Structure 1
Amino acid sequence: MNRFEGKTVLVTGGNSGIGLAAAKAYAAEGARVVITGRDATSLAQAQAELGAASVAIGNDAASLPAARQLAKELTAKGLTLDAVFINAGVAKFAAFADVDESLWDQSFDVNVKGAYFQIQALLPLLNQGASIVINGSINAHIGMPASSVYAASKAAVISLAKTLSAELLPRGIRVNVVSPGPIRTPLHSKLGMDEATAAQLQAQIPVGRFGTAEELASTILHLSASESAFIVGTEIIVDGGMSQL
C-alpha cells in the first residue's frame, strides 16, 4: 500500500520509540516524513534510517518559541502538511504526596501546552483535509497509582482533540487520539522499569504481552489516512484489553 504517496507528514518526537516506528511506517507507504526531537544524535540516526527524503529538525516540545520556529522552518523549506502525529511527550511518575511543582510543570509544559501551541503554530501549513493524531494514554482512564500528573496531562489532550475537531472541521481537518497501553519501547528503561516490574505489569494485560510500537503505528496510520475520513474527535485505545477489564 502507498496511502501516503506524495504527502508530507510530521512526527514530533520522531527520533525514537513510538514516534520513530510511526515515521518508518509513514515512509514505507510513500510519505515524505519530517521528524523532530531534542537529542541531536538520535535525531540524526533516525533520519539515516528513514532515508534521504526525510527531514530532521531539532525541537524542544515544551518551548513556545520552538513551536513557532518549527513552523517557520517548514515554511522556509516550502513544506505543507497532510498529517501530523503529535507524539513528543514526557512520562514522569510519582506518588501523589511526592509530586512537586517542577514535575507538574514539566509534564504539562510538554504534554499539554507544547502540544496545544505546536498545533496552533502549524495551522497555516495544514492542507485541506489534513489529519492530526495526538498520542494519549490509557493512564487517563485507569487510575494507576503514582500517575496522577501524567494521567491528567493525557486526559487534557484527549479533551483537546474533541474541541479542536469541532473547530477545525470546516477546513476538513480531523483530530483524533491514539491511546496506548504498555508498549515495549526504550522509555521503559529510561523510567527504570526492571524485569520484575515489567512482569507485574504484563500480568495485567489480558492478551498476555506488551504491545509493539509497530502495532501502534498501524493505528496511527489508519487515523491519518483517507480511509478513516468518518472518524472525528475519537480516541482509539490500543492496550491489549488492559483498560477494558
Structure 2
Amino acid sequence: MLNGKTVVVTGAARGLGRDIAIACGRHGATLILGDILEKQGLETAARLTADGVATRFIPVDLGDPESIASFGRDIAANEGTVHGLVNNAAIATNVGGAKLEDIDIELWDRVMRVNVRGTWLMTRALSPLLPEGARIVNMASDTALWGPPRLLAYVTSKGAVISMTRSMAREFGPRGIGVVALAPGIMKNEATDYVPAERHREYETRRAVPGPQFPEDIVDIVAFMLTPHALPLTGQVIATDAGFTFN
C-alpha cells in the first residue's frame, strides 16, 4: 500500500505514533521518525530496522521553531522527498483536571505552541519536499467534537488542528496533495496511563461498539489515508472512536 513511499511520523517514540509508524512500515513505507524523546525514538527506530523497515530517527522539539526547521533541513539533505506526513506529536494536559479559570497561562501557551504552532511549522518545513500525490494526516481528537470539561487547553488546540486541516486542504489541493484530520478517542496504551479511570470508563461504556480501544484499531486507517485512494476525503475530519461521537 505504501511501497516506495517515504513517510514522516512525529511523536513516534511511543504510544500511538510508534504504532502508526509500525503500521506504515508493515505496508512498505520508508520511515522518518521524529520525537523529543530521543532514547525511546532510537529504540523504536532500531526495532523497525530489525524488522527490515528502512527507518531513521531525528530528534525534534515541536515547541522549538529552530528544531523543526533543522528537522526539515535534515530530511531535505538526505531524503529530498516526503510522500506522507503524519502530524501526530502533541501534548495532553490536565485531563479531568483544572477548570478553565484555574488553567495556568504558561501551560495554555505550551499546549498551543506544540499542538497548534508545531503542527503548522512541521507542515511548513516539509511542504517544499511534498510532491504531487503526497498526503498529510493531522491527528486531532474527538474531544474537539464533543467538548469534555476540564480539558480546555487540549480541546481548543485540537479544534484548531481540525480548522487548520480544512484550510491546508484548500492550499495544498492545487498541488494534488490531500490533507485529512483523524479524531480518535482515548486509547489504551502507556501514553494514556495518566488519564483518570472514570474517563476511560466513560469512553468504554458510551461507544456505539462498547469496550476499550487500542492504537492497533486505527493505525491501518492512518496508513490508508496516506494512499492515493484517500484523496476524495481531503479536508475532512474523521472520527475514529468506535462511535463515541458521530461527525
- Interval of TM-score (by shorter of Structure 1 and Structure 2): over 0.9
Report the Cα offset of residue 78 of structure 1.
3.0
CA contact (8 A) 2:20 2:219 kept: yes
Residue equivalent to 1:147: 151
Identity of paired residues, percent?
A: 28
Counterpart Cα distance in 1 of 2:239 and 2:195? 25
Other-structure match for 1:227: 229
Q: What residue ranges of structure 2 are gaps of 5+ in the alignment?
A: none
In the aligned structure 2, how far is the partner of 1:123 from the partner of 1:10?
12
Deviates more, 1:45-54 or 1:83-92: 45-54
CA distance in 2, matches of 1:197, 1:162: 29
Partner residue in 1 for 2:68: 67
Partners of 1:228 and 1:11 in 2: how far apart? Answer: 18
Note if 1:5 corresponds to 2:3: yes
Amino acid at match of 1:243: T
1:105-157 Cα distance to aligned partner (Å, 9 max, x none)? 11100000000111011111112110000000011111211111111100101
4+ aligned runs moved over 6 Å, structure 1: none
Q: Which whole-Å CA distance do the structure 1 matches of 2:182 and 2:81 have between them?
A: 23
Moved more, 60-69 or 45-54: 45-54
CA distance in structure 2 between the partners assigned to 1:219 and 1:201 by the alignment: 20
1:193 and 2:193 are equivalent in the alignment: no
Distance 2:80 2:49 in 1: 17
Q: 1:14 aligns with which of 5, 12, 22?
A: 12
C-alpha contact (below 8 Å) 2:184/2:241 kept by paired residues: yes
Is 1:206 the equivalent of 2:201?
no
Match in the other structure for 1:174: 178
Question: Structure 1 residues 92 and 61, CA, compared in 2 at 3 Å: closer, same or farther?
Answer: same
Distance 1:78 1:211 in 2: 35
Q: Distance in 1 between matches of 2:224 and 2:62?
A: 24
* Equivalent residues in 2 for 1:124-163, closer than 5 Å: 124-163=128-167
Q: TM-score, normalised by structure 1?
A: 0.94
The aligned residue for residue 26 of structure 1 is 24
Give the 3-state SS of the residue equivalent to 2:244 in structure 1: coil
- Matched AA of 1:213: P
Q: TM-score, normalised by structure 2?
A: 0.93
Tell me which of 107, 114, 119 is aligned to 2:118: 114
CA contact (8 A) 2:3 2:29 kept: yes
Instruction: After TM superposition, give the deviation of residue 204 of structure 1 in Å.
Output: 2.6
Structure 1: stretches of 5+ with no match in the other structure: none
CA deviation map 1:51-87 (0-9, x unaligned)? 1620001110111111110111111213310000000
SS of alignment partner, residue 19 of structure 2: helix
Residue identity opposite 1:208 in structure 2 = P
Task: Give the distance between the partners of 1:95 and 1:133, measured in 2 at CA.
Answer: 31
CA RMSD, aligned part only? 1.5
